Every structure is written in C-alpha cells, then in structure tokens.
Amino acid sequence: MGKIYEKAMTEEEIREALKDDPVLAEEPGPTAPATIQEELERADKLYGEAVNYAKSFMDNVREGKPFDFQDATPLVNDLIDSVFRNDSATAAISKLKAFDEYTYTHCINVSVLAVILGKRLGYSREKLEMVGMAGMFHDVGKAIIPPHILNKPGALTDKEMDVMRTHPVHGYKLLKEQPDIPEEIIRGAMEHHEKHDGSGYPRGLKGEQISEIARLLAVVDVYDALTSKRVYKDPLPPGKVLAMMYKWRVTDFYPDIVEQFIKSLGVYPVGSFVRLSTGEHGVVTDHSPEHPLNPVVRICYDERMRPELKRDVNLAEDPDLRITDVINPDEHGVDIFKLIQ
Ligand SMILES: [Fe+2]
C-alpha cells in the first residue's frame, strides 16, 4: 500500500498528492454548488451591481448616447455563475429586496429568469450567455417611450397603450444600429410580446414563427411583470402567478415551456410565504424538481401569525403536512429575506 494511505492527511497533503491529476486536483470553480443562504448573500451584491448597470445603459440610450453592448458580457456571466451555484437563490433575490425602479430591475430579472429556464432546457453555457444578453436588452426600446407614459402611476389609456406597444420595434431599431449584435438578441427584443396563438404584438406572429429565445423571454417577462410591485398594483405571489400562467399555457406560450418554467422554480418558488394545513405560516426555503408541490418550509408563525420558534420541515417527507394557501407577506409586514437568512 502506498504512502498516501499510511496516516490521516492534512488538506494540504491531499492537494499535493492529487496535484498531477487534472480532474481531482481542480479547485472548486465559480459554479460550485452553494446553499441558499450562501448564495443569497452573493446574489444580493451582484443584483445591486446589475441594476446599476441596467440603469446606466437605459439612461445612455434615452440621452442618445452610444452604449457598448459587450459591456454586459461579464455581468451576464456572473449572473449565470450564480444560477449554477444555486438558481433558487438567484431567482428569489429579485423578489426579496425592495427596489423601486421597475424598468431597470425588470431587465435583470428577465435576464436571470431566462437563464434559469434555459438551464432547465439543457442549453449550453454559450447559449445561456446569448439568452442572458437577450434578457438584458429585451426592453431597451422602452428608453424611447416618453417617461410620463413609461412611469405613469396608473393604468394606461388606449392611446398611451398604443405608444407603449411600440417598444419592441424601437428596441429592434436600436439594436440593429449597433455593430455585431447577434440576430437572436435582436429578435428577442422584437418578438418578446408575441403570443403562441398569434394574438400578441407587434406583428401577430404564431408558434414557430416566433424565435426560440423570444419564446423564453415571453414566459419570464409575464412572470416578472405580475410578481413585481408597481405604483398602481401590489405584487401577486409567485405561486399564484405560476398557476395563472399554467391556465394560459396553450394560448399564450410555446408548448411545454410553462411546465418547464414551473419545474425550474417549483410550484411554490423559494421565498414564497405560505399557510400550512396546521394553520401555521412559513417561508419556502428549498425545493426539488422531484417534489414540486412539497418544498422545504421554514415555519415561523402560528395560525394567528404570532411568531413561534423557527423550524424547517420537508413536506416531501411529511405526508400529513401540505400547503393550503399562498399569502402576500407585505400584508403582514413580514420580511422574507430576514426569515430565510
Ligand atoms: Fe417588453
């Protein structure tokens, strides 16, 4: 037996012994799996940087200044790394922290969620980068929409809605003017409001006529819009939005894509505030694709919303316990971010 087995080895000795084996000696890379808590902390910082980036390019476009499309590449790659470390944390972060500027946060959320869906669909890293970039720039045409319509604190009139609906064409033109932007990204901006049955805009494209990346963007765009807080509406809980989208899956979306999106986030995405069959309340902290209806829940409040000793229960291992309702945590002044951490 070789020297390597003679005694317990220190970490340093193990690394030394394995140094010539290219696979075994590899240090954990930027995509090594992380826990929800570990990744939430990293994703929080990254998300803040990403929103600042979105603000700077949208503001530049609005002022008619040039923007360098390739500047987004490192940021998109950092977001993809975060998705590989723990996609539940990356998906949750945008819903856990209060950011008010929807136009900017929406670019990042669509980019991240489209990457999560693309990963579920088995896309290569290269294709995920394309998807992430397409998400980042899908609404760039909104920079051309007059601010009093874009940021109107209420429902739009029909006339204002017509103006708003020009943003995909503006986006197409803006991206087409830039050198070397891949066709898929330009079509993502142009086609993300098209619907599978042809009832979308601006061209009323149907089914396969809509580009592959635009079909992904369409799903995550609707999800983010409905789960986001706006001046004129409260956010809907993610679990409720996914149920609504499941109903619209045949008319609005490409076959099977909503189902795949639900599998990637879980029926009750991480960060959902739920009521259990015992009447107690808690926050979803983890899920597995094998048990979409039975995530891990951190119970924090009793049936009358009085705080109780926090405990984690895995509903997949407890057949007597199930989720009976999804609740808007804002209505109870609950800070989900703190409860998960
Ligand atoms: Fe849009």
Give the confidence band of 10 by pLDDT, cuts at 50, 70, 90: low
Average pLDDT over residues 12-16: 69
Å from CA of 139 to ligand 1 middle: 5
In the chain the first and final C-alpha atoms are separated, in Å, by 47
Å from CA of 199 to ligand 1 middle: 15
Of 150 and 101, the one with more pLDDT: 150
Å from CA of 278 to ligand 1 middle: 41
Give the confidence band of 291 by pLDDT, cuts at 50, 70, 90: confident
pLDDT over threshold 70, residue 176: yes
Å from CA of 193 to ligand 1 middle: 6
Å from CA of 147 to ligand 1 middle: 15
pLDDT over threshold 90, residue 107: yes
Å from CA of 9 to ligand 1 middle: 57
Give the confidence band of 287 by pLDDT, cuts at 50, 70, 90: confident
Of 191 and 151, the one with more pLDDT: 191
What does the pLDDT read at residue 331? 87
pLDDT over threshold 50, residue 243: yes
Give the confidence band of 2 by pLDDT, cuts at 50, 70, 90: very low
Mean pLDDT, the chain, rounded, equals: 90
pLDDT over threshold 80, residue 12: no
Give the confidence band of 11 by pLDDT, cuts at 50, 70, 90: low
Å from CA of 173 to ligand 1 middle: 14
Å from CA of 168 to ligand 1 middle: 6
What does the pLDDT read at residue 21? 67
Å from CA of 103 to ligand 1 middle: 10
Å from CA of 337 to ligand 1 middle: 28
Of 103 and 252, the one with more pLDDT: 252
- Say how far apart CA 265 and CA 249 lie, in whole Å: 16
Å from CA of 138 to ligand 1 middle: 7
What topology does CATH give the domain 36-264?
Hypothetical protein af1432 (1.10.3210)
- Delimit the domains of the chain by residue range: 36-264, 273-340
pLDDT over threshold 70, residue 22: no
